[in-house]
A and B are shown apart, each in its own frame.
Chain A
């Protein structure tokens, strides 16, 4: 067991954990950030996606100790006080999700992708999200939410809502 300090959602967080503990488990168990979900533990489903130093990362494929010294953003860190940011609002308006288990992974992946590719069209968005699995929706509503968020971001603060 070692003390691990990671910057999560802008704050330094410290807890004691074994080196073999994944970042996903560390976030959930030791930092009580249960918004990040574990769906497969072998890096395929994407439910555990967080953002590390601006890049989307599967937190089940990183050890917690490896995150020390890096900036981690989880779904809890996207909007102040547990509210909804613009992407989340657009997803709400689009009825993007059903059971919600895959949701944090999609939101983080889409957040990272849109900030790097604000002009992406449907095809690129589908490819970018093809590493996140949803069993409930058939994806169309999720794609619509991301497209709506992109459209609104381009329209700017005074644009149509």
Chain B
């Protein structure tokens, strides 16, 4: 399983990179972490004429927090994001999902942008991005566009990125106080792509749900937002009953794919179980965060006295 031939380019600047994509369009593939693309090349399922290696673009790496948003450079390695204090504090859902991505060696090279540009519907990061309404910043020779998550995921391994564009940054909203997150998944083995996964973010204010985000991986060609379940949860107190009804609503209309690892019926059942489990975990984590926030407020009030 040796890679087919291609012309190899390693641009030193972003300008060079978008120039190359502008020139080669869909004859070019962008090589980021390579953890998804190189297997496809080895299997000769991907046959780009030109490979544009953007690993030299240091400017595309890094995590920064501004104005309630966490900007993650597209070339930020998954392990760097996993170790990032900013991500842990401000995007707990992303922090919850990252350790589930493959194995450590994959996360050494895999990038946040690469995974999201590849858009495997079974992967964790697309569900996280969809749940949080992340924004995708792409650059081309004509300038920059910002694409919301709802429009980014276009189909199986397909995104709204045009052939002459590079994903440069992904922006996640910073979590407010009282937010808890969970990423639950059912995979055949530890580290495998999940058969079904669920990203959940819940915010509690005075004991009721003030914000609810649920997005599935593995149920369709793209991540699936469970908007009806989210609507049900708003304003309600967390309870087992509530979670069960949310699970019913979240899975009522889904038509999951069948493959070697699970039938459609199986995925639907598991999806419901994940909603129950994921909501419970996120609610617990949200309560803990509320308690932590209250305690911090009391501490600082004490200090002022």
Q: Could you list which residues of chain A lie within 8 angstroms of chain B, going by C-beta atoms?
A: 18-22, 25, 41-43, 46, 49, 52, 55-58, 60-63, 65-66, 109, 112-113, 127-128, 130-131
Q: Knowing that A63-B8, A63-B53, A65-B8 touch, tell me 5 more A-B residue pairs with CB under 8 angstroms.
A: A43-B35, A46-B103, A61-B106, A130-B189, A131-B106
Q: Is B86 an interface residue (CB 8 A)?
A: no
Q: Is the CB of A128 within 8 A of B104?
A: yes
Q: Is B38 an interface residue (CB 8 A)?
A: yes
The count of A-to-B residue pairs whose CB atoms sit within 8 angstroms is 83
Q: Is the CB of B104 within 8 A of A62?
A: no
Which residue of the partner chain, among B3, B10, B109, B190, contacts A127 with CB atoms under 8 Å? B190
**CA A74 to CA B108, docked complex, whole Å:** 16
Q: Is the CB of A56 within 8 A of B108?
A: yes
Contacts of B38 in A (CB 8 A): 22, 43, 60-63
Contacts of B191 in A (CB 8 A): 130-131
Which residue of the partner chain, among A62, A63, A131, contacts B103 with CB atoms under 8 Å? A131
Contacts of B10 in A (CB 8 A): 65
**CA A98 to CA B126, docked complex, whole Å:** 40
Contacts of B102 in A (CB 8 A): 131
Which residue of the partner chain, among B2, B6, B39, B55, contacts A43 with CB atoms under 8 Å? B39
Contacts of B3 in A (CB 8 A): 20-22
Q: Is B144 an interface residue (CB 8 A)?
A: no
Which residue of the partner chain, among A21, A49, A61, A113, contacts B39 with CB atoms under 8 Å? A61
Contacts of B105 in A (CB 8 A): 46, 49, 55-58, 109, 131
Q: Is the CB of A41 within 8 A of B1?
A: yes
Q: Is the CB of A131 within 8 A of B104?
A: yes
Cβ of A53 to closest chain B Cβ, rounded Å:
9
